[in-house]
Structure 1
Amino acid sequence: MARRPDHELTASVRPDGYLELFSRRTGKRHRCGPRGTTMWLALQRSDWQPESAAEEIAARLGVDPDSIRCDIDAWVSHFRETAE
């Protein structure tokens, strides 16, 4: 199921390749390395559809989309839990 990020969430990719997420609602910041940045960008390009994002990343890396989907699900779950 697609779920867009909170509209109060600001995302920016820093020059060092790290994604910085900032929630104006909670005041929390989180920096993601290149792997998290890749997942965020793929989700964004796929209209927040984890299956499509996993297929995009898997095709680029030459790996099984199911393993990438597990990573994406865990990553998204982490952010949902910390936002509650």
Structure 2
Amino acid sequence: MATRPDPELTAQVRPDGYLELFSRRTGKRHRCGPRGTTMWLALQRSGWQPESAADEIAVQLGVDPASVQCDIHAWLAHFREAGD
């Protein structure tokens, strides 16, 4: 199932490689480390399909896609809760 970001959310990968997310709706800002940045970029490339993003990351890291899927779903849940 595709998960699309809030249209009021802006995302920028900083020169240091960290992703900065900013919600114009809530005024909240969040910086993601390399792991979060990797998940965001993979989600973006996969049309916001967590399973496809997990497959991409799993291939790059040589790990089980199911474990990456769990990480992605937990990461997305964190942001859903923060956005409420």
- The normalised TM-score by structure 2 is 0.99
CA contact (8 A) 2:11 2:20 kept: yes
Moved over 2 A (4+): none
Q: 2-side partners of 1:26 and 1:50: how far apart?
A: 24
2:31 corresponding residue in structure 1: 31
Q: 1-side partners of 2:45 and 2:54: how far apart?
A: 11
Give structure 1 stretches of 5+ with no counterpart.
none
Q: 1-side partners of 2:17 and 2:76: how far apart?
A: 19
Q: 2-side partners of 1:17 and 1:74: how far apart?
A: 22
> Could you tell me which amino acid in structure 1 is paired with residue 40 of structure 2?
W
> Could you tell me which amino acid in structure 1 is paired with residue 52 of structure 2?
S
2:65 corresponding residue in structure 1: 65
- How many residue pairs were aligned? 84
1:28 Cα deviation from its structure 2 partner: 0.1
State the identity %: 81
> Could you tell me which amino acid in structure 1 is paired with residue 57 of structure 2?
I
1:39 Cα deviation from its structure 2 partner: 0.1
What are the superposed Cα offsets for residues 20-58 of structure 1, whole Å, 9 maximum, x if unpaired? 000000000000000000000000000000000000000
Secondary structure (helix, strand or coil) at the match of 1:16 reads coil
Q: 2-side partners of 1:75 and 1:52: how far apart?
A: 15
What is the alpha-carbon root mean square deviation over aligned residues? 0.4
- The normalised TM-score by structure 1 is 0.99
Q: 2-side partners of 1:28 and 1:47: how far apart?
A: 24
